[in-house]
Chains A and B, each alone.
Chain A
Amino acid sequence: RDKKFYYTRVLLGCCRRTMRKQLDRNLTFHKLVAYAIALFTAVHIIAHLCNFEWYNDSQQAADGSLSSILSNLHQDEESNKWLNPIHTNSTTPAYVTFTTIPGLTGVIITLALILMVTSSMEFIRRSYFEVFWYTHHLFIIYFAGLVIHGIAGLVRGQTAESLNKHNPEHCAQDPRYWGGNNTDSHCEEPEFGSIPAEVSPSITVCSLCRVLLATPRSAQAVAVVHPSKVLELQMHKKGFSMEVGQYIFINCPSVSHLEWHPFTLTSAPEEDFFSVHIRAAGDWTENLIDTFQQQKPKTPRIEVDGPFGTASEDVFQYEVAMLVGAGIGVTPFASVLKSIWYKFQHADQRLKTKKIYFYWLCRDTGAFTWFNDLLASLEQEMEESGKTGFLNYRLFLTVWDNSVGQAAFNFDNDTDVVTGLKQKTAFGRPMWSNEFSAVATAHPRSVVGVFLCGPQALAKSLQKCCHQYSSLDPRKVKFYFNKENF
């Protein structure tokens, strides 16, 4: 499946490109905000439906009730002191809606919101990403309309000045005496003014920035082909800088002008290029790989947008780290492992990690031979530096077939027959309780960070184990599960 499943954090459609962690929010928050907006939009619309209906009824009422009197106030004058925005007897709420600014903008932005929501349903997002991606740009219309929506100030309140001359609690009982020279009640006619609703300027500025400040996007790419139809693109782009765990969007005009696809960065920030590994998992990726494999004299042009997502600096803060990558989720760990290794070799003070336990779960290693090679080279470098204990990794193959059966017979070999790595491949899923208790025993006084890039079900079991194996004693071992980091 395509790597777009584990794309990281996006804020509200704005300020994705920032380096500051505070402004980045994760995907869950974005969805939460979206649901909240949808809910409050529904409530808001229902409230205003009632409003318009009752305004209209009040305007058309001729029974001398308080509502009809209030409606008729200040209708004929040039002054702007009316309460009821509906000024004629022969209209309908629908007509008023479409002929006033708040009404019209309301309808337009609600439609934009609905289209954004239906195209963001998980099924559509995963299967037809472009529909989701381009429709989501309707947010521009949404925010623009939202800013204008409340400006007209159709919902009104009594002005402060008028409140001095007309106390509604007292005067509402006898509207017939308003404005007269009746010294008993002191009730002048009430006057009303707008309460314009404003949209927070920060959201507007943010959205505009994101739209207007598009940076130039071309990147130079060098292609490296890996087994099992995996293409590594090593790229350079002016002014590009990244952190571990981030992702970029890639567009290749010769494959498709309009499609942008997200890929997690697999290079470490310390390297002098940035790279992604692309696996053939759909039309666009297959065409891209073919295009690069044809080795035309001129390398196809690549455009890059990003990087996006929060830097996962937390990974370096834990003395002991348990990293779990399931299937395609192993990709961000390429970046993490490389970065940790660089920092370790250069005795980077920011790196607090002393020991890493890396769990790689997948059905078959075919498409991840490149990752295999990465682990092999890390293994070798660790041996050369005499630091073999630093990285402890285990691979779990969760599918059993004939070839896998052969591996079980080669138990005595020095290297694993499936991966060629020194550490043996295990079959089936890991027994997390065993793993956690082993780590807890080996590091009884450490704080262990657990990082997952994988399916939700796995997140639940890891979370449970973290709770189970964390000691209540603050001096003893503690497991912290980091959600949503990748």
Chain B
Amino acid sequence: MGRIEWAMWANEQALASGLILVTGGVVAVAAQFKGWPFAAYAIAAGVFVCLLEYPRGKRKKGSTMERCGQKYLTAVVKVFGPITRNYYVRAILHAALAVPAGFLLSTILGTACLGIASAIYLLAAIRGEEWNPIEQKPQERPQVGGGTIKQPPAMPPPRPPADTRKKPPAEVAGQENPIPVTIEAE
């Protein structure tokens, strides 16, 4: 239990809360319940929370599953630096966002859920967790031979002796590579 990253669960909870806020808000606005301006606010807050929470942070240990298409939002969330990285900020932000939705029955569930998410984020922050973006790794060329081959030959066999290789390949008679060969940078 010592290695649980609470922020991951807080993230799921917050995302769910955002959706619940939006749903409750839409119902109240559509049916024009009394006090529906609070519901309109809840829709806006819910959408904001969803956008903020959609990109999953990177786990400290192990690989993290990205949500579908999250890299675009990751780029945006990353821009805000410490504001989005720090979970204390998120805890307080969610608590603050949750309050106005508590004045209307349709959205009060969203308030409760977001409040719980805020509490879990607070726990995560106390334990020193941080939001780190999941970066796209550049595609590495697969190492042939486990990295032991530093200068693989550029031409398939039969290879002419070294001195004749200095001539440009177009002048060497007859050999056609069935598989395209890329020239390694020396």
A interface with B by C-beta (< 8 Å): 42, 45-46, 49-50, 52-53, 56-57, 92-94, 97, 107, 110-111, 114-115, 117-119, 121, 123-124, 127-128, 130-131, 256, 258-259, 283, 401-402
Contacts and interface: CB of A to CB of B under 8 A. Distances in A.
Nearest to B31: A50
Contacts of B103: 94
Interface in B96-124: 103-106, 108-109, 112-113, 116
A323 B149 CA distance: 40
A325 B5 CA distance: 32
Contacts of B104: 94
Nearest to B23: A42
B112 A121 contact: no
Contact of A115 (B2, B13, B62, B106): B13
Given A45-B109, A49-B105, 9 more contacts: A46-B23, A50-B27, A52-B105, A92-B105, A94-B103, A115-B116, A124-B8, A124-B12, A128-B4
B146 interface: yes
Given A46-B27, A49-B28, A283-B3, A119 B9 contact: yes
Report the interface size class on chain B: 20 to 34
B62 A127 contact: yes
Nearest to A121: B12
B4 A110 contact: no
A47 to B, nearest CB: 10
Given A111-B112, A401-B146, A128 B34 contact: no
B1 A256 contact: yes
12 contacts: A45-B109, A107-B109, A111-B112, A111-B116, A114-B109, A118-B13, A119-B9, A123-B8, A124-B8, A127-B59, A128-B5, A131-B9
Contacts of A42: 23
Contact of B31 (A53, A97, A131, A256): A53
Interface string B58-74: 01001001000000000
Nearest first, the 8 closest Cβ-Cβ pairs linking A and B are A94-B105, A118-B12, A93-B105, A118-B13, A128-B4, A53-B33, A49-B106, A118-B16
Contact of B113 (A46, A114, A283): A114
A127 B146 contact: no
A172 B3 CA distance: 65
B29 interface: no
A115 B10 CA distance: 10
Contacts of A259: 1
B27 A114 contact: no
A93 B3 CA distance: 43
A373 B109 CA distance: 56
Contacts of B113: 111, 114
B4 A131 contact: yes
B4 to A, nearest CB: 5
A254 to B, nearest CB: 15
Interface string B17-47: 0001001100110010110000000000000
Contacts of B106: 49
A130 B4 contact: yes
Contact of A127 (B2, B8, B109): B8
A119 B13 CA distance: 8
B107 to A, nearest CB: 10
Contacts of B16: 114, 117-118
A131 B8 CA distance: 10
Nearest to B112: A111
A275 B23 CA distance: 49
